[in-house]
Amino acid sequence: MDSVRPEPSVVYLMEEWYWDLYSVGYGFLDSASREQQASILRRNRKMGKLPPVFPNGWFAIAESSEVKHGSVIYKSALGENFAVFRSKNGVCHVLDAYCPHVGANMAVGGRVFDDCLECPFHGWRFSGTTGKCVSLPFMDKSINGSNEIPENGSDIGHFNIVHGASLLAGNDLRYSERDWLKFFRHTWSAEWNGPLDTCNSHIAHATAEHKIIFFGTFSLFTTQIEIFQYGPGYVTFSVETSLGTVLMLQTVTPVEPLLQKIVHRIYSHPILFIYAPLILKAECIMVERDIMIWNHKKYLDNPLLLKTDKTIAKFRRWYSQFYSDNSPLLADINAMKW
C-alpha cells in the first residue's frame, strides 16, 4: 500500500507590541502623573487646519477570533460605538451599539437570534444585514403606557423583558437563564398614572401587579404594589401579599454627574421576618438587571417611541419640573474641573 504523506502544517506567528510613553515622545513628563499630563498636552496642542478626522473606507473594528458564534461584543472606533456579532451560521455583522428606541447598548446584554441582534431592554430585534428593526415583542394593549432610574418606573414595556426571568437567573440574562430555570417566570402588569393632582404635582402615582407563573400555566404568589414617587429622589412601594403588607422605601441621590446612589429600606410586621428579606433580595436582583443596562445606554432626547410607550413621554414632561434655567449641565461641570 502506498503510504499517505501528511500535508505540512502551517504555523502563524502573531506578536503584539506595546509602546510606553517614553517611546512616543512623552518621556520628559513627570512620571507620577505622566498619563494625565500627556492627555492635557494632546488637548492643548495646536493642530493646524486638519482635514476631516475620519476618512471614508474600510477599517478593522475587531479580530474575527474575538467574535464567537452566537455572541456579541462591544467595540469603539471612529468616534462611534458598535455592536459586533456573529450569527449562528457564522456570518459577522456590525450595528450601531445603541438601540434607536430609548438608547440601550445592544452590545452589552444583547442576544443573537439567527442573523438578528435583540436589544436587552425592550426586546426589539434588528437585522444584521440591513440594520432595520424586524421584530417587536408582544405588548399588552390594555396597559396604559409602554436618567434613568426615576424614568424606569414609567417604562412599562421593559418589565416583562428585563424582569420576567426567574430570580435564580441572576442579573445577567445572557449567561444565566438556562432551560432548567424557565419553569417559572415573573409576569407584570402596571400603570403609571402621573401626578396626583395640581396641588401635589410633585407626587406621581403608579400601580403594579406581579405574579409567578409555573410551567407557563399555574399562577401563584400574586402581589399588588402601590407606588408613590415624591420628586426625583424618593419612592415608596406598598407591597400587598397574602401574608401581609411590606413597605419598601427607595432613595436615589446624585453623587456626581452620571453617578447615583440607590438605597432600599424595607419594613414589615415581625411575623414576616423571613419573607420581607426575600422581597428585598428580589428587588436588588431586579435593580441589578436595570443597572447593567443603565451603565451602558445612551440618553436619547427624542427616543423612537411607540404608542405603547406614551408614559415615557408623559413621565419626562412631569420630571422636567425638577429642572430650572440654573440647573448645571454636564458640559458646565466638566468645564469647571479645569
Average model confidence (pLDDT) across the chain: 77
What secondary structure letter does DSSP report for 49?
A: S
Nearest C-alpha neighbor of 237 from the set 175, 271, 190: 190
For strand 218-230 and strand 234-241, is the pairing parallel, antiparallel, or unpaired? antiparallel
Q: Are 33 and 41 in contact (CB under 8 A)?
A: no
Q: Is the pLDDT of residue 138 over 60?
A: no
Number of Cβ atoms within 10 Å of the Cβ of 82: 20
Residue 99, CB-side half-sphere exposure with 13 Å CA sphere: 31
Domains of the chain by range and CATH?
A: 10-59+155-173+181-297+313-337 (no CATH), 61-149 (2.102.10.10)
Backbone phi, then psi, for 48, in 5-degree steps?
80, -175
Backbone phi, then psi, for 229, in 5-degree steps?
-110, 115
Considering only residues 126 and 216, tell me which one the structure prediction assigns the higher pLDDT.
126
* Separation between Cα atoms, residue 337 and residue 277, nearest integer Å: 42
Considering only residues 33 and 111, tell me which one the structure prediction assigns the higher pLDDT.
111
Q: Is the pLDDT of residue 164 over 80?
A: no
pLDDT at 235: 92
Number of Cβ atoms within 10 Å of the Cβ of 20: 9
User: For 198, left (φ over 0), alpha (ψ -120 to 50), or beta?
Assistant: alpha
Q: Is the pLDDT of residue 98 over 60?
A: yes
Q: By CB neighbour count within 10 A (0-12 exposed, 13-18 middle, 19+ buried), where does 239 fall?
A: buried
* Separation between Cα atoms, residue 264 and residue 68, nearest integer Å: 39
How much is the average pLDDT of 41-56? 68
| Strand partners of residue 96 | 82
